[in-house]
């Protein structure tokens, strides 16, 4: 006879390692895939992590979510392949290598060859691969780590090249200018990632100026304006960009005013244009009343007067004279007013000076409006030679003071002292004047300056050189995602986002404001852009495969341009090797590779295709859509504009399809105080330690059930301990209880299934609840709501199964012979436990499998080797009986109320009582209670329930208004009706009970109260002890008759004997003989309950005798007054 395994105590970490062993030896994961080879696929994509850092606790969170739904779908019979992946390129890796080697970007190619550098990167990137694999294993995340995709593999890179070539052929890949953060001091562009490092933004004081741009169009285009010189006012904190100005931007819906005033330096009458909202910051209110005629040159108070007002969009198209004409833009129709959505009236003048070369917004706005640019600053941060006038500017000057060293400053100062004579009174006294300051001086001289001031603002600095950065136009390759913007938005609407707002909000907004994707990175370790270009830039070729590369190399070689590039097994498509390839254009020109790498985000976004080396292998799987798009992906919410976006963009652009149908974006894992975890702060939680201490199941369960995955999780180890106790402890206890008695009775589920109809109410109830639970959990998993699933399982186990079913049914398991009632109890409990194993297995894979295997090792009901190879339970609709569930809820409520009365009256449950009374309200209440009467009586240790007709006048009733119906009826008089009803509740109750309605008169209005407008609730039965909750009231007869007292004593005695049995380590099944010392108060109690006492304690004989020998006997207190000796012997 096989026995259910019984355990000494619950050890989740041990169960974890046991099950890991079993899974590995029996190849359960492989089987969970191979056993479903012919089934419908459920496509999952693993977002590749970068293994150059240690995995953290948040990875357990993200991976638990992935695992849950993959396991669930496997239980549903789907084929769920999961290929692991590694993200291996990119800046974080390069920066880590630079740090390790103690070098900077400038050293690469000098102090260290690119070859060696990239070798170091290749090594760095998988530094912690074994730790990642170990965590994956320990936490029970099932993913195929034996055959991962690796983004630095040639096959992966080849697929990426193929995708790039598709983009190229579709004209979706182009070379263009973009404005990027650029450090002239370091001579390199910076990524936004670099700029966002702490300390890069610093407060600096710059000279700001409001410049005057003279209207060049006819005044008739500005209705209402007078016949005066007219200027647009625009503010800048970087006057050095003014020579490169090519446009002015206004807000389309912002209101602008034309103001008549006097020029601040020429003192001529002029008109200026600025935003109405900012009028008062430039023109003090008090000057509005000044007489124009009274103004004299040099007066401090300058009169002004608004002469016209226009919306920004009406100003669009107006032309102005170039402010500082050092050079002309080569293309485009410059020096016009345009509109821009970025224009605000928070400061300045509401008119923005646009220098397209030195600002991202500027560049975009200029491009959209067909306006060319001027880039009058070189890459070292100096003006071009033509920016000189001999007086203020001397050509080839650094535009930021910080770029000059002391000697350069001194030399420049000498120049200034000469050149500025006549403009500045005593030039010997001046300090070095920055370019900004001199431009302001120049504007003032030329009558183009409205105002100047020092302005403090935060400005980004280069983290390597500490010098201010510039925004500078650089050559870059772009993916023209804007060409498919509408389609991307449209297809996004078909994606099921969890939570929804991430898709509509964060992602949707991002798509609505889509910009072309800058693909270029001037780095070393990444996928090289497969584009070769002729020196003059007129011809180029995009290579889409290794094969094509080979052909082109051969072609060039034959024409006399051999490349030193091995095409054998040492092939490596990385730098520096690929840069040695020289190709020929169609017309025979030599072409070299564009030096950039591609954005690492393209690598990961390409994974649906590149992980399969598409289209060079596995072509059909993509083309026939069996492995594409994904049914499900999941990552942190920080990937919304990262991986989620790049997947979507590549898919829509090239395959006109979504890349994934369902996506879960989880929130952050914070420390228990809500702070971000970081190694630096020392509050990072080590996932290995956590799993070792609590087990993966408890960790996963805690993370999933504590909060929805998309909310941030405040990770507190106490919470895991609680889950361990509350959920796993309770479930384990329930199993232990089952195993204990099933082993005694030899229950192996060998008997015929006892039909539902023949099982007692409580069995049918728990099975009904169980099937309701299956439906709920199934639904929650299928809708990607793991928290709801977990919480429902938890609730069922703790409340329904353990605290009610097992507690009430205990006697059925240990009492009496092996009857059909007992078998029904075993079958019911078994079914519950096994079902829970299935339902919980996606979240708690270890414990669930242990439970499943322990049960089936004896019962053999389910032949699956592991719960993870089984099928998800089917809801048996016939078992669900909602009315029964309601009845039981009612029973629980009544029990809890009566227990609270007992508590208040200080009558222990062991003391039997005679009667509870329940006033019957509403129809069917009596029948409902009748059905669960036995449970209530035994739980409460009461003899009988009496139902009291509610019409009995002795019952005290309360009137409660139904605001939902009455609110509609009474409207504004609701409050008064309420007050009236409170004051006259007796009359109203009487009327409604007698006539079925009651009338209320308020302020001339009559309102009829119908029975549905009120609840009449019995609250008290005078002379009884009562409790009420909602519409239910119960009363308890607390009189203890002599019979009841005896019965109570007998129960106390049984209790003491049971305790003695336990102290003496008797087996649950051992029979005993009893000798009880005679006591007058106990005499009749024992006599009248002899049978009861003997069956309960398994006594074959009971002798009550006079004084007994204290030797071998125990002295016990039966109650406060009775102390007797009891002797127990094993029979």
Partner RNA sequence: AGUCCCGUAGCUCAGUCUGGUUAGAGCACUACACUGAUAAUGUAGGGGUCGACAGUUCAACUCUGUCCGGGACUACCA
Could you list the active site residues? 48, 87, 601, 639, 643, 676, 679
Site string for RNA, 652-691 (x = CB under 7 A): ----------------x---x-x-x---------------
Interface residue with RNA, options 32, 166, 183, 238 (CB under 7 A): 238
Q: How far is the CB of 671 from RNA (least distance, A)?
A: 10
Nearer to RNA, 191 or 864 (CB): 191
Cα gap 305→277, rounded to integer Å: 15
Size of the chain, expressed as the number of residues it contains: 1131
Nearer to RNA, 310 or 593 (CB): 310
Burial environment of residue 446 by CB neighbours within 10 A (0 to 12, 13 to 18, 19 or more): middle
Which residues in the 771-800 window bind RNA by CB under 7 A? 787
Site string for RNA, 883-902 (x = CB under 7 A): -------------x--xx--
Interface residue with RNA, options 711, 886, 930, 1117 (CB under 7 A): 711
Which residues in the 149-178 window bind RNA by CB under 7 A? none
Which residues in the 459-498 window bind RNA by CB under 7 A? 459-460, 471
State yes or no: residue 1067 binds RNA (CB under 7 A). Answer: yes
Of 164-172, 325-333, 500-508, 850-858, the window that binds RNA (rule: CB under 7 A) is 500-508
Of 350-358, 537-545, 552-560, 584-592, the window that binds RNA (rule: CB under 7 A) is 350-358
Q: What is the DSSP letter of 48?
A: P
State yes or no: residue 1098 binds RNA (CB under 7 A). Answer: yes
Interface residue with RNA, options 962, 985, 991, 1084 (CB under 7 A): 962
State yes or no: residue 506 binds RNA (CB under 7 A). Answer: yes
Interface residue with RNA, options 235, 403, 478, 846 (CB under 7 A): 235
Which residues in the 194-233 window bind RNA by CB under 7 A? 195-196, 201, 208
State yes or no: residue 361 binds RNA (CB under 7 A). Answer: yes
State yes or no: residue 348 binds RNA (CB under 7 A). Answer: yes
Interface residue with RNA, options 267, 693, 910, 943 (CB under 7 A): 910
Interface residue with RNA, options 496, 708, 914, 915 (CB under 7 A): 708
Cα gap 1107→1112, rounded to integer Å: 13
Cα gap 558→571, rounded to integer Å: 21
Q: How far is the CB of 359 from RNA (least distance, A)?
A: 4
Question: Hey, what are 697's tokens?
Answer: 């199941």
Cα–chain center distance at 488: 22
Question: Hey, what are 209's tokens?
Answer: 């100026």
Which residues in the 738-767 window bind RNA by CB under 7 A? 740
Of 182-190, 590-598, 774-782, 805-813, the window that binds RNA (rule: CB under 7 A) is 805-813
> DSSP secondary structure string, 712-769?
-EE--HHHHHHHIIIIIIHHHHHHHHHHHHHHHHT--S-SPPPPGGGS-HHHHHHHHH
Interface residue with RNA, options 1068, 1087, 1100, 1103 (CB under 7 A): 1068
Of 109-117, 477-485, 914-922, 1063-1071, the window that binds RNA (rule: CB under 7 A) is 1063-1071
Q: How far is the CB of 164 from RNA (least distance, A)?
A: 21
Of 290-298, 622-630, 682-690, 721-729, the window that binds RNA (rule: CB under 7 A) is 721-729
CB 665 within 8 A of CB 635: yes
List the alpha helices (DSSP H) in 102-153.
114-125, 129-138
HSE of 520, CA atoms in CB hemisphere, 13 A: 22
Which residues in the 920-959 window bind RNA by CB under 7 A? none
Q: 3-class SS at 218?
A: coil
> DSSP secondary structure string, 156-203?
HHHHHHHHHHHHHHTT-EEEEEEEEEEETTTTEE--HHHHTSTT-EEE
Identify the residue whose tokens are 């023949």: 758
Cα gap 811→807, rounded to integer Å: 9
Q: How far is the CB of 212 from RNA (least distance, A)?
A: 13
Q: How far is the CB of 562 from RNA (least distance, A)?
A: 42
Cα distances from 859 to residues 169, 826, 1006, 1061, 1131, in angstroms, run 64, 11, 70, 31, 33
State yes or no: residue 566 binds RNA (CB under 7 A). Answer: no
Site string for RNA, 1019-1058 (x = CB under 7 A): --------------------------------x---x--x
Nearer to RNA, 192 or 428 (CB): 192
Question: Hey, what are 620's tokens?
Answer: 């059909």
State yes or no: residue 713 binds RNA (CB under 7 A). Answer: yes
State yes or no: residue 1097 binds RNA (CB under 7 A). Answer: yes
Interface residue with RNA, options 153, 716, 885, 993 (CB under 7 A): 716
Number of residues lying near RNA (CB under 7 A) = 106
CA-wise closest residue to 342 among 309, 369, 367, 364: 364
CB 831 within 8 A of CB 879: no
Taking each helix axis as running N to C, give the angle between helix 687-694 and helix 696-706, from 0 to 180 degrees, rounded to the nearest 10.
110
State yes or no: residue 806 binds RNA (CB under 7 A). Answer: yes
- What's phi and psi for 230, nearest 5 deg? -125, 135
Map 419-475 to HEC letters.
HCECCECCHHHCCCCCHHHHHHHHHHHCCCEEEEEEEEEEEEECCCCCCECEEEEEE
Interface residue with RNA, options 509, 886, 889, 987 (CB under 7 A): 509
Of 129-137, 311-319, 412-420, 633-641, the window that binds RNA (rule: CB under 7 A) is 633-641
Identify the residue whose tokens are 């299935």: 838
State yes or no: residue 456 binds RNA (CB under 7 A). Answer: no
Q: How far is the CB of 906 from RNA (least distance, A)?
A: 7
Of 106-114, 316-324, 859-867, 907-915, the window that binds RNA (rule: CB under 7 A) is 907-915
Work out the number of other CB atoms within 10 angstroms of the CB of residue 93.
Answer: 25
Cα gap 373→363, rounded to integer Å: 8
Task: Report how many helices (DSSP H) and strands (DSSP E) the chain contains, helices first.
Answer: 39, 38
Q: How far is the CB of 891 from RNA (least distance, A)?
A: 12
Cα gap 638→645, rounded to integer Å: 11
In what helix (H) or strand (E) does residue 485 lie, and over which residues does it extend?
A: helix 485-492
Interface residue with RNA, options 368, 421, 538, 803 (CB under 7 A): 803
Site string for RNA, 249-268 (x = CB under 7 A): x-------------------
CA-wise closest residue to 1075 among 1124, 1040, 1127: 1127
Of 19-27, 148-156, 725-733, 1085-1093, the window that binds RNA (rule: CB under 7 A) is 725-733
State yes or no: residue 733 binds RNA (CB under 7 A). Answer: yes
């Amino acid at each position: 006879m096989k026995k259910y395994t019984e355990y000494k105590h619950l050890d989740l970490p041990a169960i974890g390692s046991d099950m890991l062993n079993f899974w590995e030896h029996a190849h359960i994961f492989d089987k969970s895939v191979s056993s479903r080879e012919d089934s419908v696929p459920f496509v999952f994509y693993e977002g590749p992590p970068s293994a150059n850092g240690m995995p953290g606790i948040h990875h357990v969170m993200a991976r638990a979510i992935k695992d849950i739904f993959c396991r669930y779908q496997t239980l549903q019979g789907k084929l769920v392949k999961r290929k692991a992946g590694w993200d291996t390129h990119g800046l974080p890796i390069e920066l880590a290598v630079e740090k390790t080697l103690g070098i900077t970007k400038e050293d690469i190619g000098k102090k260290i060859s690119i070859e060696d550098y990239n070798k170091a990167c290749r090594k760095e990137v998988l530094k912690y691969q074994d730790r990642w694999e170990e965590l994956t294993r320990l936490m029970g995340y099932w993913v195929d780590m034996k055959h991962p995709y690796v983004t630095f593999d040639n096959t992966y890179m080849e697929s990426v090249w193929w995708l790039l070539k598709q983009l190229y052929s579709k004209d979706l890949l182009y070379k263009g200018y973009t404005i990027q953060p650029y450090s002239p001091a370091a001579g390199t562009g910076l990524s936004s990632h670099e700029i966002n490092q702490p300390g890069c933004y610093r407060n600096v004081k710059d000279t700001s100026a409001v410049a005057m741009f003279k209207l060049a169009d006819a005044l008739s285009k500005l209705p209402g304006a007078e016949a005066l010189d007219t200027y647009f006012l625009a503010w800048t904190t970087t006057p050095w960009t003014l020579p490169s100005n090519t446009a002015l931007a206004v807000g389309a819906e912002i209101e602008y005013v034309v103001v008549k005033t006097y020029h601040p330096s020429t003192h001529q009458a002029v008109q200026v244009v600025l935003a109405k909202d900012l009028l008062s910051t430039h023109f003090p209110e008090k000057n509005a009343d000044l007489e124009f005629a009274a103004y004299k040159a040099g007066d401090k108070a300058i009169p002004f007067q608004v002469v016209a007002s226009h919306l920004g969009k009406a100003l669009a198209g107006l032309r102005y004279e170039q402010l500082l004409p050092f050079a002309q833009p080569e293309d485009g129709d410059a020096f016009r007013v345009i509109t821009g959505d970025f224009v605000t009236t928070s400061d300045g003048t509401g008119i923005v000076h646009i220098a397209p070369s030195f600002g991202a917004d500027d560049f975009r706005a200029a491009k959209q409006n067909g306006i060319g640019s001027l880039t009058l600053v070189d890459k070292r941060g100096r003006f071009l030679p033509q920016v000189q006038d001999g007086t203020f500017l001397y050509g080839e000057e650094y535009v930021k003071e910080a770029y000059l060293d002391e000697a350069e400053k001194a030399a420049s100062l000498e120049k200034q002292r000469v050149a500025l004579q006549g403009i500045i009174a005593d030039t010997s006294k001046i300090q070095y004047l920055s370019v900004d300051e001199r431009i302001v001086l120049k504007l003032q001289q030329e009558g183009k300056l409205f105002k100047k001031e020092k302005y403090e603002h935060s400005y980004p600095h280069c983290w390597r050189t500490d010098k201010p950065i510039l925004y500078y136009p650089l050559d870059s390759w772009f993916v023209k995602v804007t060409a498919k913007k509408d389609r991307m938005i449209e297809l996004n609407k078909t994606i099921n986002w969890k939570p929804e707002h991430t898709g509509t909000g964060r992602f949707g907004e991002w798509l609505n404001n889509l910009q072309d994707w800058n693909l270029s990175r001037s780095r070393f370790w990444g996928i090289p852009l497969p584009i070769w270009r002729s020196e003059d830039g007129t011809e180029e070729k995009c290579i889409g495969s290794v094969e094509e590369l080979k052909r082109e190399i051969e072609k060039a070689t034959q024409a006399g341009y051999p490349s030193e590039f091995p095409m054998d097994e040492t092939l490596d498509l990385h730098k520096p090797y690929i840069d040695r390839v020289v190709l020929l254009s169609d017309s025979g020109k030599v072409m070299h590779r564009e030096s950039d790498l591609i954005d690492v985000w393209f690598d990961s976004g390409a994974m649906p295709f590149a992980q399969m080396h598409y289209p060079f292998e596995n072509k059909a799987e993509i083309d026939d859509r069996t492995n594409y798009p994904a049914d499900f992906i999941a990552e942190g919410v920080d990937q919304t504009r990262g991986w989620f976006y790049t997947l979507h963009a590549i898919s829509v652009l090239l395959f006109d399809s979504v890349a994934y149908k369902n996506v879960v974006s989880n929130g952050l894992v914070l420390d228990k105080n809500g702070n971000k975890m970081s190694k630096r702060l020392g509050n990072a939680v080590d996932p290995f330690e956590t799993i070792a201490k609590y087990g993966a199941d408890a960790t996963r369960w805690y993370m999933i059930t504590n909060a929805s995955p998309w909310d941030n999780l405040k990770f507190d180890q106490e919470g895991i301990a609680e889950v361990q106790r509350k959920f796993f402890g309770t479930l384990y206890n329930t199993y232990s209880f089952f195993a204990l008695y099933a082993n005694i009775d030899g229950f192996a589920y060998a008997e015929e299934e006892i039909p539902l109809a023949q099982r007692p109410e409580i069995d049918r109830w728990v099975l009904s609840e169980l099937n309701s639970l299956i439906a709920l959990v199934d639904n929650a998993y299928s809708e990607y709501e793991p928290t709801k699933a977990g919480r429902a399982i938890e609730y069922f186990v703790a409340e329904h199964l353990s605290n009610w079913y097992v507690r009430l049914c205990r006697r059925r398991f240990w009492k009496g012979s092996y009857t059909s009632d007992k078998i029904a109890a075993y079958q019911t409990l078994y079914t519950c436990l096994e079902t829970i194993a299935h339902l919980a297995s996606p979240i708690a894979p270890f414990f669930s499998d242990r439970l499943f295997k322990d049960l089936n090792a004896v019962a053999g009901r389910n032949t699956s080797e592991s719960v993870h190879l089984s099928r998800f339970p089917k809801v048996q609709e016939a078992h669900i009986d909602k009315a029964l569930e309601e009845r039981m809820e009612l029973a629980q409520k009544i029990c809890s109320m009566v227990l609270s009365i007992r508590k208040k009256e200080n009558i222990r449950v062991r003391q039997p009582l005679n009667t509870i009374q329940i006033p019957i309200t509403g129809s069917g209440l009596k029948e409902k209670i009748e059905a669960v009467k036995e449970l209530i009586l035994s739980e409460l240790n009461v003899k009988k329930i009496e139902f009291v007709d509610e019409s009995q006048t002795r019952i005290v009733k309360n009137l409660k208004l139904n605001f939902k119906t009455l609110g509609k009826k009474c409207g504004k008089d609701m409050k008064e009706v309420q007050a009236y009803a409170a004051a006259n509740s007796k009359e109203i109750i009487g009327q409604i009970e007698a006539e079925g309605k009651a009338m209320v008169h308020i302020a001339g209005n009559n309102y009829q109260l119908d029975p549905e407008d009120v609840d009449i609730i019995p609250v008290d039965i005078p002379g009884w002890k009562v409790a009420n909750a909602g519409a239910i009231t119960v009363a308890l007869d607390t009189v203890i008759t002599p019979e009841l007292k005896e019965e109570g004593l007998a129960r106390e005695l049984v209790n003491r004997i049971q305790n003695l049995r336990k102290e003496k380590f008797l087996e649950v099944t051992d029979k005993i003989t009893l000798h009880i010392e005679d006591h007058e108060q106990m005499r009749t109690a024992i006599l009248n309950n002899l049978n009861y006492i003997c069956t309960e304690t398994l006594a074959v004989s009971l002798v009550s005798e006079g004084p007994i020998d204290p030797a071998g006997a125990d002295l016990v207190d039966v109650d406060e007054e009775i102390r007797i000796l009891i002797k127990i012997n094993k029979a």
